[in-house]
A and B are shown apart, each in its own frame.
Chain A
Amino acid sequence: MALKNWALRKSLWVYHVNTGACNNCDIEVVELLTPRYDIERFGMILVGSPRHADVLAVTGSCTRQSQPRLQEIYRQTAKPCVVLAIGSCAGAQGIFAESYHMGAGVDNAIRAIDPNAIILYVPGCPPKPEAMISAAVKAMELLKEVKI
């Protein structure tokens, strides 16, 4: 079991979910892959399917239309998985919190599916790539405790 856990921490694969973001957070997520920040040195790559992913990088304020889709994506992600709520919108719906077309919020929507979900908040509008790297490293620390 320790081997599986070690392997997971060395190769966190990320699936990027946009739940109605303005694309600024998405640009910063892509920035992580550039040589300047080079998130791949931690073994992290962006993958094209939640079935392959260990980390969900969620941006956006979780609109009504995207909420059931986010829940379905979380359900399809292989467990254990870590949710990174990137940006002010994903953390607490940002300036759109009192708008008519908002869902429950990223964290509430995911906790409705899985009450024990691991959710890390990365505040900022948009957050700096350094902040996201810090969150990724914290996620690796958290996964040390998880039994597979």
Chain B
Amino acid sequence: MSGVDSVSNVSVPLMGFAGQVLSALGDAVIAVDTRNDRRALARIDPARTVEVAKKMFEMDGSRFATATGIDVRDGIDILYHWVFDKVGAVITLKALAAAPEMKIDSIANVVPAANWIEREIHDLLGANFVNHPDMRRLILDDSWPEGVYPLRKDFDQIKDRPPLPPQPPDTGEALP
């Protein structure tokens, strides 16, 4: 795991703008790694993602940039990147969707911008977003089998490829 977990310094007073933001989240923050005043990574309680997202969303000048998924040993890490454009700060909040179920609460009902990226993470990595409003397939093709996640570490890009999509049906139409 990354350095975020090894630096568990919530008791240390948080400095700068990033510190103010993370302090506002209260005890939902499990571990903090502050790089400088305007760049911070924090691990949050996976059971409280919706509450944290709501707090971040309602903060002055905040914007949900995107989310990232990483296949790690204990499950899938979801990284929510929040940007404060006026300050120039980027706050990344990590939450672990723990194996084997890889379930995590969807923040798409609170933050509409997270809708598509959560669908994409579900497609490619297989994290299960609970209470997502519209969990349809987003970017893999229609013939891709369910339950095959191409960006997992154990997926071989060549050996594990599913069979190719079928040819379109021949209509027997006479052509000019």
Binding site for B on A (CB under 8 A): 51, 63-65, 67-69, 71-72, 75-76, 78-79, 98-104, 112-113
Contact = CB atoms under 8 A, between A and B. Distances in A.
A8 to B, nearest CB: 12
Contacts of A63: 141
A72 B175 CA distance: 13
Q: How large is the interface on B (under 10, 10 to 19, 20 to 34, 35 or more residues)?
A: 10 to 19
Contacts of A79: 175
Given A63-B141, A64-B143, A65-B141, A103 B150 contact: no
A65 B150 contact: no
A101 B140 contact: yes
Interface stretch (B67-75, B100-108, B155-163): B155-163
B164 to A, nearest CB: 6
A69 B165 CA distance: 11
Given A75-B170, A99-B157, A68 B150 contact: no
Nearest to B158: A98
Contacts of A64: 141, 143-144, 164-165
A100 B141 contact: no
Contacts of A67: 164-165
Nearest to B166: A68
A100 B167 contact: no
